[in-house]
A and B are shown apart, each in its own frame.
Chain A
Amino acid sequence: GQSLEQPSEVTAVEGAIVQINCTYQTSGFYGLSWYQQHDGGAPTFLSYNALDGLEETGRFSSFLSRSDSYGYLLLQELQMKDSASYFCAVKGQGGKLIFGQGTELSVKP
């Protein structure tokens, strides 16, 4: 089967840097994705890592270590609008994209 673990809540202040971790277990692994969801709205794609290392997209970066079955999303220069839920997701056996339970990020002034 497949399972993902990520913290349920993270709080940070505006302008700071925050890291959201994700560990996964899956039979067959193709890559780790990150999605953002504001208040029950449509989830939106942030990043995807298939290989080890860091991928940077503006203020957001995502890291993957396949040997450790671990990844993280790094958000820099936090803004109030970054307050949202962040989901890691793995594509495993059968090509199914399975999501974690989500991390609710609260950005304080």
Chain B
Amino acid sequence: DSGVTQTPKHLITATGQRVTLRCSPRSGDLSVYWYQQSLDQGLQFLIQYYNGEERAKGNILERFSAQQFPDLHSELNLSSLELGDSALYFCASSGGDRDEKLFFGSGTQLSVL
């Protein structure tokens, strides 16, 4: 158990809908990262927050947004969902803002039908 909690574990929804994925980092970690993993693909970096501020951004779609709250948990919002958004979404955390060692949650499996 990495100490990173993601909810829900599974999410099934329809095209055009909006969903929110939630992540609680390890106790004491200030950075939260979001990654997308499609079938048989690598981990695509979406976005990083450090202590409530956006720190780095990857190829995150405009339909996607994220934030980190004062209690350091983070939410990833996906809207106007398309079939291609079906993927495993991972959250990871680390203590600092430039750590090499990330601790990953178990992921949220999103299925868009």
Contact = CB atoms under 8 A, between A and B. Distances in A.
8 contacts: A42-B4, A43-B90, A43-B92, A87-B42, A89-B43, A96-B45, A97-B100, A101-B41
A97 B100 CA distance: 8
A100 B45 CA distance: 11
B90 A42 contact: yes
Contact of A95 (B2, B35, B97): B97
A84 B53 CA distance: 34
Interface in A56-104: 87, 89, 91, 94-102
Interface stretch (B10-18, B72-80, B104-112): B104-112
A102 B58 CA distance: 19
A45 B56 contact: no
Nearest to B37: A40
A50 B101 CA distance: 12
B42 A99 contact: yes
A43 B56 CA distance: 20
Contact of B45 (A30, A40, A48, A99): A99
B43 A43 contact: yes
Given A87-B42, A102-B42, A44 B100 contact: no
Contacts of A30: 98, 100
B104 A43 contact: yes
Interface in B25-44: 33, 35, 37, 41-44
A95 B48 CA distance: 10
A109 interface: no
A45 B2 CA distance: 10
